[in-house]
Amino acid sequence: MIASVFGKTRPFNYLTIGILLLVFFITKTLITPETDPSWLYFAQEIGLFVVVFASAFLINFIALKNELTKGNNYALLLFFVFLLFFSSYFQNKNIIIANFFLLLALRRLISLKSLLATKEKIFDASFWILLAALFHFWSILYIVLVFIAIILHVSRDYRNWVVPFIALLAVTILFFLANNFLDNSLLNSLSSKTYVSFNFYYFDNLYQRMALALFTAISLFFFVSQIFDIQNKALNMQSSHKTILFSFLLGVGIYVLSANKNNGSLAFCFAPLAIIGANLIEKIDNNWIKEIIVYALVICAIFFYVMQL
């Protein structure tokens, strides 16, 4: 039932995911409320939900607009599932904002395939990535994807290699202007996030460990399957799918390096993994198997969400 519903793009799917996101977001917020909530706190929570909502539909837009999936909403569904696996994401505003900026960057990099306005797209992508780094420093690792995309699409024009450094200059100027205006608070905040942490013993309960273990298994299966399947993609689409694969690896890298690590840091893997997973699900011919896989993922996601409240 679920697989067949999301096997096509329809307004009902967007409405369903939007409502469910709101319900689960509000539930998580109410379970862990602010000690002394004010109107500013509630305004911030509403803003964060809008960003989460926009992130989900941006992933779906990237997948459909660039023909990374075949006219279905599986990427949207899988992103929602992964959010429930690690509901701590809902409480980390820096990760929510940084992940949204990286999705904007990914959208521009994937669209390099058209070979139109390449320099503008490279600048935009670099700009969004550098902005993301101000909220979650190790998002800066994503800048590697810009150069990978240049290699895959537009490496012959040497000027394309210079554009990311122009974006770096622009963000640096804007950052120090804002920092001076705010009495060095931005620089102090950024400096506190620049260290590397390999501490993976951050779990609050057993279910966080279980969710991570299952997510790791799913990720490995999706990723390895896509590597073997990429040669079966149309030649003009292979570079886009390679970009998605590299995006996933960089998301893992951001998680590994992140300071103040938690399962929510895995959010940088969700978008590429959702697109990779959608590719695999849509290839399954047996509808019963497809339904079983989708139901299993949804049930596991709801289970981990409830147990981590």
Residues 44-58: tens digit of each pLDDT: 889 999 999 999 999
Angular region, 115: left φ>0, alpha ψ -120 to 50, beta rest: left
Quote the tokens at residue 69: 């999936």
**Residues 174, 180, 182, 188, CA torsion sign:** positive
> In the chain, which residue ranges form alpha helices assigned H by DSSP?
2-6, 11-31, 39-65, 74-85, 93-110, 118-135, 143-153, 163-181, 185-191, 206-229, 235-257, 267-283, 287-307
Listing DSSP states for 27-71 in one string gives HHHHHS--SS--HHHHHHHHHHHHHHHHHHHHHHHHHHHTTSSSS
pLDDT at 34: 62
Percentage of residues of the chain with pLDDT beyond 90: 66
pLDDT at 110: 94
pLDDT at 293: 94
Average pLDDT of the chain is 90
Structure pTM? 0.94
Residue 27 and residue 309 in contact, taking contact as beta carbons nearer than 8 Å: yes
Q: How far is Cα 45 from Cα 39, in angstroms, rounded to an integer?
A: 10
Quote the tokens at residue 146: 């810009």
Which of 128, 136, 59, 123 is CA-nearest to residue 95? 136
The CA–CA distances, whole Å, from 71 to 61, 181, 213, 245 equal 11, 48, 31, 20
pLDDT at 33: 61
Per-residue pLDDT of the chain (309 residues; tens, 9 = 90+): 888 889 988 889 999 999 999 999 988 887 776 666 677 878 888 999 999 999 999 999 999 999 999 889 999 999 999 999 998 898 889 999 999 999 999 999 999 988 888 999 999 999 999 999 999 999 999 999 999 999 998 888 889 999 999 999 999 999 888 888 877 777 777 777 788 888 888 888 899 999 999 999 999 999 999 999 998 888 888 999 999 999 999 999 999 998 888 888 999 999 999 999 999 999 998 899 999 999 999 999 999 999 988
The length of the chain in residues reads: 309
Quote the tokens at residue 58: 């941006």
Indicate the angle between helix axes 118-135 and 143-153, nearest 10 degrees.
Answer: 160
pLDDT at 139: 94
Neighbours of 49 (CB within 10 A): 17
Residue 113 and residue 66 in contact, taking contact as beta carbons nearer than 8 Å: yes
**Three-state SS across 182-196?**
CCCHHHHHHHCCCCC
pLDDT at 309: 81
Indicate the angle between helix axes 287-307 and 74-85, nearest 10 degrees.
Answer: 30
Q: Tell me, rounded to whole angstroms, the distance of Cα 259 from its chain centroid.
A: 18
pLDDT at 36: 66
Find where tokens 């960057």 sit: 105
Q: How far is Cα 33 from Cα 28, in angstroms, rounded to an integer?
A: 9
Residue 283 and residue 226 in contact, taking contact as beta carbons nearer than 8 Å: no
Find where tokens 């279980």 sit: 210
Which of 259, 225, 265 is CA-nearest to residue 245? 225
Q: How far is Cα 151 from Cα 10, in angstroms, rounded to an integer?
A: 36
Q: How far is Cα 117 from Cα 164, in angstroms, rounded to an integer?
A: 15
Q: How far is Cα 12 from Cα 14, in angstroms, rounded to an integer?
A: 6
Q: How far is Cα 66 from Cα 61, in angstroms, rounded to an integer?
A: 8
